[in-house]
Amino acid sequence: MIFFLKGLMDIVTTSIEGLLIIEPKIFKDRRGFFMETYNRQKYEGAGITDIFVQDNLSYSLKNTLRGLHFQIRHSQAKLVQAVFGEIFDVAVDLRSGSATFGRWTGERLSDKNGRQMYIPKGFAHGFCVLSESALFSYKCSDFYAPDDEGGIIWSDQDINIKWPVEDPVVSEKDKQYKKLSTLSSAQLPSF
């Protein structure tokens, strides 16, 4: 379902409650384009009330796959977008008691479509790069805590994410993560 926020952006709901796709209005002309990537008042009007405290920028080459990451005690809501290139972005619901626990949603985000994904607290997150390279930007509602990292193996057959890359380039750390079914509730994000 799509609903509009005073013509400023479209909010697309997904099959997972709380997980949203944002399509900001893009003003284009012969010089290029302009778009607002975040405006607290407008996003609050769409129900996104998190206070973002940290911005991150990631540069990756084609076929790179990062994820599936989360923080355990310092769970983060995220607002993510590709500012250059194209990625396939994925969020997996890890919220205890959720009707969609263990389900995933994926979306192509690019500098061409301007889409963003809002990921609430309690999700694992990952992405893969579809273009030759990509710059990926994301806002977080809590600070990164290296000693609080958690993750799920990107290829977990029970989750069955349909990654649109073959033979992805994955870090050694990400290769060591376990399947979701092997994690205890204490190893999953609290929110």
Distance (Å, rounded) from C-alpha 74 to C-alpha 26? Answer: 33
DSSP state of 169: B
Active-site residue 138, yes or no? Answer: yes
For 178, the token pair is 């376990």
For 85, the token pair is 């290139």
Output phi, psi for 3, to 5 deg.
-130, 155
Among residues 43, 74, 118, 138, which one is catalytic?
138
Among residues 69, 118, 125, 177, which one is catalytic?
69
Distance (Å, rounded) from C-alpha 101 to C-alpha 63? Answer: 27
Distance (Å, rounded) from C-alpha 7 to C-alpha 171? Answer: 41
Q: Read out DSSP for 52-110?
A: P-EEEEEEEETTBEEEEEEESSS---EEEEEEESEEEEEEEE--TT-TTTT-EEEEEEE
Q: Is 133 helix (H, G, I), strand (E, B) or coil?
A: strand
Active-site residue 69, yes or no? Answer: yes
What positions carry a catalytic annotation?
A: 69, 138
